[in-house]
Amino acid sequence: MKMSTGLLFLVKKTTTVKQLLLLVRNTTTVKQLGILLIQTNQQGSKPSYRFAVHDGILHTVQRSPFFKDIILTVGGWTFAIWKEGVTTGPILQSACSPKMYTAAQWSLSRAGIFFLGKEDGNIDVWDLLEKTHEPSQTQNISTAPITCIKPWIVTSKQHLLAVADDYGTLHILQIPWTLRHPSSHERLGIQHYFEREVKRLDYFTERKILHAKEKVQMEAEEQRKKNIILPPQKTEEQLDDELKTDYESYLTMEKNILTTLGIVTESEEKTQIAV
């Protein structure tokens, strides 16, 4: 099914406008927007936080259809999942993909699935309940970069996925049962997963702060040791003289004690000295 380049541009532009309208409508609640963590208010429009997460242009900022406080951002060769209100960073950040990501979309029927289009014409299917370090499936769609992904539910038994590429071609795919039918308590399981990731991020942040404090203390201790002036080392002759002096002091102290106790009298002492 072919589409003109102009119509494809309009579709992309419409999607962008919808995203921008969503962001404008939620400027008081949307805080984490990929590289920039933005919090707008009446006092000013400067960003409150900034994160260098993506290694390319950020082209997707999308809320989960199941969790309004979960946001997916995609740009360059990485994607990230954020939780609104968590200001220490993304709760999930991917490794760099061999190919650049060009489009993204959450699943409409399963809370833990999202689709990522790439520059080589492939689509990666990520299932967070199955894997979090690599895509669960990869499907080749075209030889051109993927430009737009849009799922659509026709009936409960028919879910479609519309995929557009850079050639202006629209591909209509049918989503299989395994990718459209949620497992038992899937939404609850995904919610618990996000909560665990938030706790992990908090623990990592606390450990990072603790390590930073320990590093400062160690550097201060090393600097203190450097500032201590060590006494010069003594020669062997000086050490012998000190030992001789200590021994003579010991003999004098011993004589005084024995004389005080009456064990040795002064006459006996003189006799011993004469002998």
**Contact (Cβ atoms closer than 8 angstroms) between residue 147 and residue 15:** no
pLDDT score of 269 more than 90: no
| 137 contacts 149 by C-beta, under 8 angstroms | no
Q: What is the pLDDT, as a whole number, of residue 88?
A: 87
Mean pLDDT of the chain: 81
| Contact yes or no for 171/163 (Cβ under 8 A) | yes
Question: Which pair of structure tokens corresponds to residue 235?
Answer: 């020669």
pLDDT digits 0-9 by tens, 239-265? 888 888 888 888 888 888 888 877 766
Structure token digits, residue 124: 């990666």
Of 124 and 39, which is predicted with more confidence? 124
Q: Which of 8, 12, 23 minimizes the C-alpha distance to 73?
A: 23
Edge-to-edge strands, sheet with 122-127: 101-106, 113-118, 122-127, 137-140
Tell me the pTM. Answer: 0.64
Position 111 scores a pLDDT of: 94
Task: Give me the phi and psi of 139, to 5 degrees please.
Answer: -125, 130
The residue among 56 and 122 whose pLDDT is bigger is 122
**Mean pLDDT along residues 16-41:** 42
C-beta separation of 164 from 6 below 8 A: no
Nearest residue to 141 via CA among 115, 180, 114: 115
C-alpha radius of gyration, the chain, whole number: 37
